[in-house]
Structures are given as C-alpha cells and as structure tokens.
Amino acid sequence: MKLVVDLNKCQSYGQCIYAAPTVFRWHSEESLEFNYNPDDGLRQQVERAAAACPVQAIRIGRSNEQVATAQPSAQEAHHDEEE
C-alpha cells in the first residue's frame, strides 16, 4: 500500500492519528508525520483515517502504482480552463 498526504490541504485536525496511530503521528505540535508504505495489514485503519480526514488530504494506492494527488496536471488544468 502506498500513502500520500497532501500537506497543503492538511489542516492538522489529527483525525488520522486517532484512526491509525501506528501509521500517523505528530512530529511537532502541528506537523504530521506518517509511514508512506504501511503494511497491507493496516489497510482498514488507513482507510478509516482517510475517511475521517475532514479535508480529504489522504490518498491510498498500491505500492507499485502512482497515487493520485489533489494537484491536477498542467494538461488537466488547461483543459478545465477551456470548458
């Protein structure tokens, strides 16, 4: 499993820490630290953490694939402007 957190979206609510404390933790008062490649046995906790995030900053994928992030590619952004 591969995990990406959009730290530009993250507002430090900490809901992910309560849902998956073995994957997410505070690095300092408001700085999130997390395991980028948690064991697949933690998938249920990670899915709960992603669902609990009020700003939906957490993305989950497989270890061997790229995970979609909140930032659109330049081509997607250009396409949206044309519509």
Q: Where are the domains of the chain?
A: 2-82
Question: Domain 2-82 falls in which CATH fold?
Answer: Alpha-Beta Plaits (3.30.70)
- Convert the pLDDT of each residue in 15-59 to its tens digit: 999 999 999 999 887 789 999 999 999 999 999 999 999 999 999
For residue 10, the 8-state DSSP code is -
For residue 74, the model assigns a pLDDT of: 44
**CA atoms 11, 30, 18, 4: torsion sign:** positive
pTM score of the predicted model: 0.71
For residue 23, the model assigns a pLDDT of: 97
For residue 5, the model assigns a pLDDT of: 94
Nearest 5°: CA angle at 25, between 24 and 30?
120
